[in-house]
Structure 1
Amino acid sequence: MNLSLIDLIVFLAYVVGIISFGASFYFKKRVSIDYITGGGRLPAWALGMSIFATYVSSISFLALPGIAYQSNWNGFVFSLSIPFAAFIAVRYFVPLYRKLQSPSAYAYLENRFGLWARVYASTCYLLTQLARMGAIMYLLALPMNALFGWSIPLIIVATGLGVVIYAMLGGIEAVVWTDVVQGILLILGALTCFILIVWEMPGGCLQIYEIAQEQNKLSLGSFSLDWSQNTFWVILVYGLFINLQNFGVDQSYIQRYLGAKTASEAKKLTWLGSLLYVPVSLLFFMIGTALFAFYQQFPENLPLELQTIENADKVFPYFIVSTLPKGLTGLMIAAIFAAGMSTISTSINSSATVILEDHVKKYLFPNLPKASDFKVLYVSSFMMGIGSILIGLAFNGVSSALDAWWALASIFSGGILGLFLLGVLTQSKSNIPAIIGVILGLLLIAWISLEELFITYGLPVLELHKNLAIVLGTMTVFFVGFVLGWMVNRMKSF
């Protein structure tokens, strides 16, 4: 299929406009702290919208309707865990980082366990962000290639370079304000699509509901205690730990806490960004269910190649291209790209901050003049962007590599969260218990995440769902570190 000239103009105008808008912040007079946190002057509502836009990557925009179309609303349970994580963040994490007043999320770990913890956590964060950005660009390119025949490498390179330009030049202010625009576009675009699907159904919402009920499309999953399956409880616990990781140790979230004018504003933005995602993710699941009902009613409107389970993610983009009016189609394609661009720009900016604060100024060039901060931030942003493009290109046509990268990302992030909780919830300052806890936690995460590799070599495996890797790994880091720390303290007391 081909985009009409009108749609192509709308799409290109949006992309050029958002890049130009973001890059315009380069011309503001700033110091490095403005580039990193906005100087603590950004409004809470804008920062909250930025957190929301970061949540909704292009993966969410395409995958959530695809999940609902293919199966049911089991994936929505992840969103239900967000309010619990947000409550913990507002109660503990936001005050902690506001009090610390360091641009880096990982300065806290150095205060608790020493420089090794800071270097370990920040390095893992950078590796995770590279994997995340590359995966997002690749997964964004797949449906665009399937629908329009656009070159996958070209989409990856063009998307990556476009985001690099404004994220590198504009800093956190460019990221936040472009996120605001893109977040609004995401919401309006999704609402428009849902309304149009309902409009096309002869029986409207009632007919969609009846078809969904008949096919068990509204189920939140099994409530059994089988921890090897995607049950309600597995997704809920997994979602809680992933969101605790986001709020507690993700540099991009911490920068937004510090970007607010006051601690009270920081708490408000956390609630806004997190709670806004819940109804919007519900809207994406409703779109997927509505699409299922629509193509049940009009099966002749869906090509045979898209009627297979493995192509469920492509049904929503196909509906956009084949059904929406001209002009609106181009805007919706722009919304899909906006979802990816907002997440990538956030990762680029936060990664550049980590490189400057946790590596360059900490031990590479500890006496770096303040005037050189910007040079490091610009170069770091550019290098992270280029690195993510190369990883995205490496994913092309190698699906097993994608699974391996996400398994490694789980290993990296699980260790950081466990170490952070050990620091917050215990009093021990001994390094050895923390190091042993991290090593054992990472080994357990690897054991669960790389199950196929273990099976290949005839090694024993745990019959658990992979989503539980970060849960059990984090708990291992915490409990091992806690028990060994308690033992060390008892030995010192004798």
Structure 2
Amino acid sequence: MNTLDIIVFFAYIIGIALFGGSFAKKNKTSASYTLGNQDIPSWVVTMSIFATFVSSISYLALPGNAFQSNWNALVFSLSLPIATLIAVKYFVPLYRKINSPSAYTFMEQRFGSWARIYVSVCYLLTQLMRIGTILYLLALTLNAITGWDIATIIIFTGIIVAVYSMLGGISAVLWTDAIQGIILIVGALVCIAFMFYSMPEGPMQVFTIANENDKFSLGSFDLNLSEPTFWVVLVYGVFINLQNFGIDQNYVQRYMVLKSDKEAQKSALIGGLIYLPISALFLFIGTSLFAYYNSADTLPEALQGLSKADRVFPHFIVNALPMGITGLLIASIFAAGMSTISTSFNSSSTVFLTDYYNKYFKQNISDKKRMQVLYIASAVISILGIGIAIAMINVKSALDAWWKLSSIFSGGMLGLFLLGIFTKKKNTTSAIIGMIAGILVILWLTLSEQIFGSDSIGASFHTYLTIVFGTMAIFLVGFLVSSFLKPKN
């Protein structure tokens, strides 16, 4: 990057940090740290929900996916209306009624303390992996663009986000998320406008080349469960998005920030639906990049090969865009990642205070002590996340295995919540048996190929279906067992 791009990039980073830190004067109590002061506009919460959903992975992977193949990934977004409507109808009113900063209080009310511990531990572990992964990918991208040291970028980014999210609490997280969401949308629009302007035969050439290469296809409509067909991706999207908008603390905490149930439901619905056109925008960037490079009949050697697809967008940003715009686009990539990380810092510390410290350590403590616990928990989580990101530089394969394991746990979380909401009997035994059955199904589908070979039944299902079958197993087994067991008072 040239000097102007570096100035634009660092001006953004410093500006966000200062703006987030400015909320420190409003962040004086544990309630304001976790749920704000009920003075945050609903549009800010809506944009924050959207920005939390969009990570730097989406910002880079979706254009790369469309460049390499087609718009099959859009089917995942088409499931959002289904998932968000279910979340708005059943989950949001439930959390508002319970009125707890933690999403997992419901689990204890429904099945006992073991369920609350299980889901909250699963959440914390997956958040640590999420923080580490996004920090690592951000550093990897900036390293490829600037040549700066990966470990230094990870530490710098982690500290900046941790400081402003700790100082300003949930208010800082929500407002900076909203700004970062707007920046990443503007950055994507600027990029598309530049490519339209640069096409030799005008903007319509993008659509001509794309149609000739079947780039707008949504994938096969066959009923083949071993391939990422339209139907497989759609069903997978419903379950994974229901997990996001229905049980993830990152989202549930935002539902609790607003004054009324109606505002919370509206923000959840719109915040989820915004991603549908924006994901199409990201995919269109990839399609436009394909047309852009094909119109010149020269694809840079650095981008040739299927494994290089994710590098196409960063390569274009650095080598094709004008000065200043490059800095803005790199800032927008960081915006996508920073919004997700700041959310994880705040929500994870909230879970630790609510689900563990207040319940198992000291219940009757001063609010000043609660604030200290929140600060310490945020600091510890940020350090662990930074450590995981640095570890990914050298031992990525081991962490990939752990990422799969955390996915197994998260599948169990969704099944338990669905069992708790859609069944009436309060029977702990049925929930435990259902959870064990679901985890066994998920383990079987995840490890079948490694243990039994590629011809095994488990290996014949696409990996997208793992969470689908696992969640259904927990719900169905738990429901059937509860039907035969006498409920406890």
Q: With structure 2 as the length reference, what TM-score do the two structures score?
A: 0.97
Residue 105 in structure 1 maps to residue 103 in structure 2: yes
The 2-side partners of 1:347 and 1:451 are apart by: 32
TM-aligned CA deviation for residue 408 of structure 1? 1.7
Residue 226 in structure 1 maps to residue 224 in structure 2: yes
Query: Which residues of structure 1 form unaligned runs of 5+?
Result: none
TM-aligned CA distance change 1:402 to 1:67, over 3 Å: farther
Aligned twin of 1:177: 175
Cα distance per residue 1:102-144 (max 9 Å; x no partner): 1110001100001111011101000010111111111222232
Aligned twin of 1:41: 39
Aligned twin of 1:23: 21
TM-aligned CA deviation for residue 452 of structure 1? 5.1
The 2-side partners of 1:319 and 1:161 are apart by: 29
Cα distance per residue 1:64-87 (max 9 Å; x no partner): 000000111001101000111111
Q: How does 1:253-402 map to 2 (within 5 A)?
A: 253-300=251-298, 302-402=299-399
Aligned twin of 2:460: 463
Write the letter of the residue equivalent to 2:389.
G
In angstroms, what is the RMSD of aligned CA positions?
1.8
Runs of 4+ in 1 over 3 A off after TM superposition: 450-453, 455-462
Q: How does 1:59-74 map to 2 (within 5 A)?
A: 59-74=57-72
The 1-side partners of 2:232 and 2:388 are apart by: 30
Residue 406 in structure 1 maps to residue 371 in structure 2: no
The 2-side partners of 1:460 and 1:218 are apart by: 32
Aligned twin of 1:158: 156
The 2-side partners of 1:58 and 1:295 are apart by: 23
- SS state of the match for residue 368, structure 1? coil
Range 180-189 or range 442-451, more displaced: 442-451
Identity of matched residues, %: 55
TM-aligned CA distance change 1:451 to 1:175, over 3 Å: farther
Pick aligned residue for 1:122 from 97, 103, 120? 120
Write the letter of the residue equivalent to 2:284.
M
TM-aligned CA distance change 1:457 to 1:388, over 3 Å: farther
| Residues 407 and 450, structure 1, Cα contact 8 Å, conserved in 2 | no
TM-aligned CA deviation for residue 215 of structure 1? 1.2
| Residues 449 and 459, structure 2, Cα contact 8 Å, conserved in 1 | no
Cα distance per residue 1:352-408 (max 9 Å; x no partner): 000000011111223333321100111111111111111111111444334323312
TM-aligned CA deviation for residue 40 of structure 1? 2.8
The 1-side partners of 2:393 and 2:445 are apart by: 26
Q: How does 1:48-59 map to 2 (within 5 A)?
A: 48-59=46-57
Write the letter of the residue equivalent to 1:139.
L
TM-aligned CA deviation for residue 451 of structure 1? 4.3
Write the letter of the residue equivalent to 1:368.
I
Cα distance per residue 1:194-236 (max 9 Å; x no partner): 1111111123332111211121111101111111111111111
| Residues 447 and 462, structure 1, Cα contact 8 Å, conserved in 2 | no
- SS state of the match for residue 40, structure 1? coil
Residue 432 in structure 1 maps to residue 429 in structure 2: yes
The 1-side partners of 2:447 and 2:373 are apart by: 36
Pick aligned residue for 1:75 from 73, 76, 79? 73
The 2-side partners of 1:450 and 1:319 are apart by: 38
Aligned twin of 2:5: 7
| Residues 410 and 469, structure 1, Cα contact 8 Å, conserved in 2 | no
- SS state of the match for residue 207, structure 2? helix
Write the letter of the residue equivalent to 2:255.
Y
The 2-side partners of 1:147 and 1:303 are apart by: 15
Write the letter of the residue equivalent to 2:234.
L
TM-aligned CA deviation for residue 148 of structure 1? 2.2
The 2-side partners of 1:80 and 1:404 are apart by: 29
Write the letter of the residue equivalent to 1:464.
F
TM-aligned CA deviation for residue 26 of structure 1? 1.4
| Residues 46 and 176, structure 1, Cα contact 8 Å, conserved in 2 | yes
| Residues 37 and 172, structure 1, Cα contact 8 Å, conserved in 2 | yes
The 1-side partners of 2:54 and 2:480 are apart by: 38
The 1-side partners of 2:396 and 2:356 are apart by: 33
Range 39-48 or range 117-126, more displaced: 39-48
The 1-side partners of 2:230 and 2:11 are apart by: 43
| Residues 26 and 32, structure 2, Cα contact 8 Å, conserved in 1 | no
The 2-side partners of 1:320 and 1:168 are apart by: 32
Write the letter of the residue equivalent to 1:330.
G
| Residues 410 and 445, structure 1, Cα contact 8 Å, conserved in 2 | no
The 1-side partners of 2:401 and 2:363 are apart by: 36
| Residues 189 and 332, structure 1, Cα contact 8 Å, conserved in 2 | yes
Residue 147 in structure 1 maps to residue 145 in structure 2: yes
Range 151-160 or range 224-233, more displaced: 151-160
Write the letter of the residue equivalent to 1:188.
V
Aligned twin of 1:93: 91
Aligned twin of 1:137: 135
* Number of aligned positions between the proteins: 489
TM-aligned CA deviation for residue 292 of structure 1? 0.4
| Residues 135 and 402, structure 1, Cα contact 8 Å, conserved in 2 | no
| Residues 346 and 378, structure 2, Cα contact 8 Å, conserved in 1 | yes
Cα distance per residue 1:36-80 (max 9 Å; x no partner): 111333211000000111111000010000000011100110100
| Residues 112 and 429, structure 1, Cα contact 8 Å, conserved in 2 | yes
| Residues 64 and 310, structure 2, Cα contact 8 Å, conserved in 1 | yes
| Residues 69 and 312, structure 1, Cα contact 8 Å, conserved in 2 | yes
Cα distance per residue 1:275-325 (max 9 Å; x no partner): 11111110000000000011111243x420212111111110111111111
Aligned twin of 1:193: 191
Q: How does 1:202-221 map to 2 (within 5 A)?
A: 202-221=200-219
| Residues 138 and 395, structure 1, Cα contact 8 Å, conserved in 2 | yes
TM-aligned CA deviation for residue 328 of structure 1? 1.2
The 2-side partners of 1:23 and 1:201 are apart by: 43
